[in-house]
């Protein structure tokens, strides 16, 4: 009789894990406490996979060889607690899928901000360099589905802290840790040190010969390294000073200085603007150089890369006003980078589900650049308290359409309307993608 693999959650990650397990000959049972989409149900039936929705029947899961948990399910969920007590091994989809690609090289990107942009940038550079590469993890297709249906020599993975928490034996060949700022602390007992330790799990099992790329300017990263020894070879990137080995900025030029190659490109030639994107570009360029991609190829992609949806995405200009979709800015640090990069007066659309945010770091930018704050959320009390005295106009709305209508009313020619919420989206929207799409639709409809 085939061994049982249980999958918790029927999102992209869970569906991929179930599909891979079924293809590899396991007996598979998928359980979701919510409603499974009609499309996913159709797939499960076609694959011959047993499933349930609206509940978790623990009795059907006991004795499983492994339980693959979707990253959105916290360790504190009753079903997870019960299965752990029953002695089940609970892992992430990445941990489950990776052993089925034993010859692949793994390039893993994590951090509180910039993961998706950097992952896409690394992937595009690798593709341009002629490598056989796939992109998965917290972006796009699940790794499990990708491994089930194809073969790549390199996988570029965006990894959230939730995914890293379920990874134990996996080892990266190259890992990038972009930054660590407060986020998701509700999942980490509201202790920053727990969240920092989760991010550094990207380096677990790495050894001499593997390379960990680290932001030398990040306070949390520096603090962790002062107290913990790492076995990986470490290389650093910085905008604060010249490095003998690594990536740095000097006189308006991005420099890569590695044993694998040395080259530079003027920051003015980078397609991605803003201080945060200099870090992203440095990290991606270092990873590509370590993998032997020619500098001219890296430079070309850095010059032409168009960015990703929902991250400082230019939507259109209307009546002299630029509209920017930064819906992926679901924490204060992301919104900080967005506001920092603004060079015009701003109508700022913010708000949503607060994660215990401290808005103080944003106040200087708001005072300097924002004349109108549009609160797009159910509970806007903290936004009104922290910014009400800093802006000329403050409006509360409950839909993306109303937010855009209000923005169009208050914006003047030469202004920028910036959707950069600093909050999660779950009070009014299914996710940040839906929030961004509805914003763009409303802007296009002006």
Q: Are 383 and 359 in contact (CB under 8 A)?
A: yes
Q: What is the spatial distance between Cα 291 and Cα 126, in angstroms, rounded to a whole number? A: 9
Question: Quick check: is 190 catalytic?
Answer: no
- Name 396's bridge partners: 375
Give the sheet arrangement for strand 313-318, strand by strand.
313-318, 321-325, 416-419, 346-350, 370-376, 393-397
For residue 330, give every residue at least 6 positions away whose Cβ sits within 8 Å of its Cβ, in sequence order, or none: 183, 352, 355, 421, 422, 423, 424, 425, 432
Question: Quick check: is 431 catalytic?
Answer: no
Q: What is the spatial distance between Cα 138 and Cα 135, in angstroms, rounded to a whole number? A: 9
DSSP string, 295-309: HHHHHHHHHH----T
Q: What is the spatial distance between Cα 142 and Cα 48, in angstroms, rounded to a whole number? A: 20
- Pick from 320, 296, 323, 301: which is nearest to 312 by CA? 323
Catalytic residue among 120, 138, 357, 380: 138
Question: Quick check: is 23 catalytic?
Answer: no
Instruction: List Cβ<8 Å contacts ≥24 apart for 288-291.
Output: 288/122, 288/125, 288/126, 288/129, 289/256, 289/258, 289/260, 289/261, 289/263, 290/174, 290/211, 290/258, 290/260, 291/105, 291/107, 291/126, 291/129, 291/131, 291/154, 291/174
Helix (H) or strand (E) holding 334: helix 332-340
Helix (H) or strand (E) holding 208: none
Q: Give the SS3 label for residue 332.
A: helix
Catalytic residue among 184, 276, 328, 440: 184
Q: Are 404 and 446 in contact (CB under 8 A)?
A: yes
* Sole residue written with tokens 């490598």: 131
For residue 437, give every residue at least 6 positions away whose Cβ sits within 8 Å of its Cβ, in sequence order, or none: none
Helix (H) or strand (E) holding 62: none
What secondary structure letter does DSSP report for 58?
G
Q: Give the SS3 label for residue 342.
A: coil
Provide the token pair at 199: 């991010």
Catalytic residue among 40, 56, 69, 115: 115
| Residue 84 neighbours by CB distance under 10 Å | 13
The residues that are catalytic are 115, 138, 184
């Amino acid at each position: 009789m085939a061994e049982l693999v249980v999958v918790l959650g029927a999102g992209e990650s869970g569906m991929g894990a179930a599909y891979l397990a079924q293809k590899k000959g396991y007996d598979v049972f998928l359980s979701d406490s919510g409603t499974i989409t009609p499309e996913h149900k159709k797939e499960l039936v076609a694959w011959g996979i047993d499933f349930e929705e609206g509940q978790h029947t623990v009795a059907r899961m006991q004795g499983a060889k492994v339980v693959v948990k979707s990253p959105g399910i916290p360790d504190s969920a009753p079903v997870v607690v019960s299965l752990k007590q029953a002695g089940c091994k609970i892992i992430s989809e990445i941990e489950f899928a990776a052993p089925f690609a034993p010859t692949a090289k793994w390039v893993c990107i994590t951090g509180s901000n910039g993961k998706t942009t950097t992952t896409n940038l690394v992937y595009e550079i690798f593709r341009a360099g002629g490598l056989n590469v796939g992109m998965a993890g917290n972006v796009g297709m699940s790794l499990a589905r990708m491994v089930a249906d194809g073969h790549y020599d390199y996988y570029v993975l965006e990894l959230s802290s939730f995914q890293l928490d379920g990874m134990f034996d996996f080892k990266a060949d190259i890992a990038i840790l972009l930054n660590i700022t407060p986020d998701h602390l509700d999942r980490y007992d509201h202790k920053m040190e727990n969240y920092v330790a989760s991010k550094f799990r990207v380096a677990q099992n790495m050894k001499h010969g593997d390379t960990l790329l680290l932001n030398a300017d990040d306070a949390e990263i520096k603090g962790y390294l002062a107290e913990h020894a790492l076995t990986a070879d470490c290389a650093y990137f910085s905008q604060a000073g010249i490095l003998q080995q690594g990536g740095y900025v000097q006189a308006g030029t991005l420099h890569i200085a590695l044993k694998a190659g040395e080259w530079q490109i003027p920051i003015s030639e980078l397609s991605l603007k803003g201080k945060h994107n200099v870090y992203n570009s440095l990290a991606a360029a270092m990873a590509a150089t370590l993998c032997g991609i020619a500098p001219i190829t890296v430079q070309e992609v850095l010059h032409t890369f168009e960015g990703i949806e929902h991250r400082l995405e230019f939507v259109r200009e209307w009546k002299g006003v630029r509209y920017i979709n930064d819906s992926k800015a679901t924490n204060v640090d992301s919104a900080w980078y967005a506001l920092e990069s603004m060079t015009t007066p701003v109508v700022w659309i913010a708000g949503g589900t607060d994660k215990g945010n401290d808005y103080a770091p944003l106040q200087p930018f708001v005072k300097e650049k924002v004349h109108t704050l549009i609160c797009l959320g159910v509970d806007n009390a903290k936004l009104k308290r922290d910014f009400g005295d800093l802006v000329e106009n403050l409006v509360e709305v409950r839909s993306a359409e109303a937010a855009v209508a209000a923005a169009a009313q208050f914006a003047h020619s030469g202004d920028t309307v910036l959707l950069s919420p600093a909050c999660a989206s779950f009070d009014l929207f299914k996710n940040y993608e839906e929030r961004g799409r509805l914003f763009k639709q409303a802007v296009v409809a002006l």
